[in-house]
Amino acid sequence: MKNSSDKKLTTVRALLIIDIQEKIIKPIFKKESITKNIKKLLNAYQILEENIILSEQNPRKLGSTIPEILPKTRFKKIEKMEFSLANIQEFLQELENKKVTNLIVCGLETHICIQQTVLDCLKKEFEVIIISDAMSSRNKVDHDIALQRMIQRGAILTTTESIIFELCKTANRKEFKEIREIIMS
């Protein structure tokens, strides 16, 4: 969380993958490119960082996370009925336990669960980065308006490739070859 009186020297990030589930993804606008970008982000994140949180909205009715989006490394899965993860104690406890200050958000749907989570996390003073090309809604207009609303409230907008290079920081990093292959795929 941001705290103006206590400048933190380190940023602890978490990748938040919201509701990439079987029944939710079927009608999504540009679902193929969104899924591809989430996979790139996830693969790069697993190499460069830790703290992956995956949510599932009402999985009994909407299905599980699609298999290609399941992380290979350790992650926290939170099943929910609430639209906003920020209203779920298990989520907040996970962030507190790992001292997370910065959330990188992708998933579905931009105007529902993502928007409500982002707006609530901003109120709780987290820095929130939204990955515009790794999230979507059924309708483009809902996605676009939700992005505008989150930006107006203080979310930082970027793209998959941009955040991956930001996480990597330098081409001198030993993992850079793997990262470049992910980007180029």
Q: What is the pLDDT along the chain (185 residues), one digit of tens a residue?
A: 555 444 455 889 999 999 999 999 999 999 999 999 999 999 999 999 889 999 999 999 999 999 999 998 889 999 999 999 999 999 999 999 999 999 999 999 999 999 999 999 999 999 999 999 999 999 999 999 999 999 999 999 999 999 999 999 999 999 999 999 999 98
What the chain holds in terms of domains, given with CATH numbers, is 13-90+107-184 (3.40.50.850)
DSSP 68: G
Q: Measure the CA–CA gap between 77 and 68, rounded to whole angstroms.
A: 15
Q: How many CB atoms lie within 10 A of CB 1?
A: 15
Q: Which amino acid is at 66?
A: I
How far apart CA 137 and CA 119 sit, in angstroms, is 17
